[in-house]
Amino acid sequence: MGFDAYLRIAGRTVTIRLGGELDATTAPVLRSLIDRAKDHDPTRLVLEMGDLTYMSSAGIRCLVFAHQTLTPAAEIVLLDPQPDVAEVVRLAGLDRAVTLAESERSR
């Protein structure tokens, strides 16, 4: 178990790389990074999820927070989510608000 998150800013694209387990104990970390991302007024928020092994509804709430916090035109991309993480996103109906995508190297 464990959790790590790294923030990267390039122009108006903010990338957050996530690894480990995103649950009620670790979600505040992601939420604070999304808060920092907001300060850069990004048009694109990319969450790299290839190393994220678990996500509970606390992670879903973080995505909802991002959706409600960033400018309406901002695109939120979930990159390379593992199958069970992607399943949680879909079951919550959040795939209507974010884009699930695969990177070139994961194909």
Partner 1 sequence: MTVEAHAQMDLLHIPASTDALPRLAEYVARLGDRVGSCGGLRRNRLRLAAEEIVVNIARHASPPDRPAWVTVAGGVTEDAVWLRITDSAPPFDPTAPPAAGPPQPWTEGGVGLLLVRSMVDHVCYRRVDGHNETTLLLRMAVR
Site residues (CB under 8 A) for partner 1? 1, 21, 23-25, 54, 56-58, 60-61, 64, 83-84, 88, 91-94
Report whether 4 contacts 19 (CB < 8 A). yes
In whole angstroms, how close is the CB of 52 to partner 1 at the nearest point? 12
In whole angstroms, how close is the CB of 59 to partner 1 at the nearest point? 10
Q: What is the CA radius of gyration of the chain?
A: 12
Which residue, 43 or 56, has its beta carbon nearer to partner 1?
A: 56
- Identify the CA nearest to 56 among candidates 79, 85, 94: 85
H/E element holding 7?
A: strand 3-10
- Would you give the end-to-end CA distance of the chain in angstroms? 27
Which residue, 10 or 24, has its beta carbon nearer to partner 1?
A: 24
In whole angstroms, how close is the CB of 24 to partner 1 at the nearest point? 4
- Residue 45's alpha-carbon distances to 1, 33, 60, 99, in angstroms, are 25, 11, 15, 10
Which residue, 72 or 83, has its beta carbon nearer to partner 1?
A: 83
In whole angstroms, how close is the CB of 84 to partner 1 at the nearest point? 5
